[in-house]
Amino acid sequence: MQNIKQLSCTLLLALVSVGTTAAAADTPSLKLIEEDGTEIITELPPQIVNGHVMIPLRTAAKLWGKNIKYDGKAGVVEVSDRMKVIWEDKSKGIKLSGSLRENGMYERIRISTPSFSRNLSIESFNGRDPQVITADLTGDGEEEIIVITNIGYGTGLSLSDLVVLDAHGEIILHEDPLIAMMKQFTGRVTEQEIEVNLNGKVTKISKTQIEAEPSHLFGPGIGSILYYSVENNTLHARAAIQISPAEFIGDLQASYVYKNGILQTGQASFEPYPEYQSN
């Protein structure tokens, strides 16, 4: 049986048609160039065959995040997603996997349990410290599966995404916490203070406690930094209050309740970070 290295020199993939029918031997050498200008070196140089640009199949598979398997007896080349286990709890039989891309991001996220297996709606994430938590969020006596993933970074802090599944693998809808918090929150900057008004309760922070230059202050507003957590069978969300491009003064926090088939956010609260709390 040929190995993949040998196979890559004999199986070619047509990338695009070109306006020529010249044989490969009569065409000038071609280069495979990435968008940033980096040349991709292949074991067999790209060539034009019967009007098509051809590259080794193994190179194409790598570019598109695929795995290649070759069955010489059956004469079959199997192309599949490069799936990798991202997180696993062997005691509960729960596994989170995804297709690993060249940029280190995971796509086509899939969860497998003893009861079901399904793709998740998470478009992509960087694979760092995903959380898969089981808890009875709905109060029906069965544990839901809560998947919390890190989808990127903003101002040095992580951004989270959330999917909640019932015991049978069906999605449980949840309210967007940022929108819910925005409905309850207002804030302003005065000459002496930063004011955070949450459902009529006003928290004031003196400008003497603020590090940012006065010309850099804005808001305060809810940044895009969002965290989820689960405690005592309750889902919580918190978002940072931002007053300058690099300064956050505290967190808005809200807990979810299950009502009418949806996880809904309740009344939010505001907790200043210790350095901004009054003595």
Question: CA–CA distance from 272 to each of 14, 146, 249, 269 (Å)?
Answer: 59, 28, 6, 10
Average pLDDT by consecutive 10-residue portion of the chain (279 residues)? Answer: 41 50 54 76 80 78 71 78 83 88 77 92 73 94 91 56 93 93 92 92 92 87 84 94 91 95 94 86
Token match 């405690």: residue? 231
Residue 5's pLDDT is what? 40
Residue 155's pLDDT is what? 47
- The predicted model scores a pTM of 0.69
3-state per-residue secondary structure call for 64-112: CCEEEEEECCCCEEEEEECEEEEEEECCCCEEEEEEECCCCCEEEEEEE
Residue 21's pLDDT is what? 44
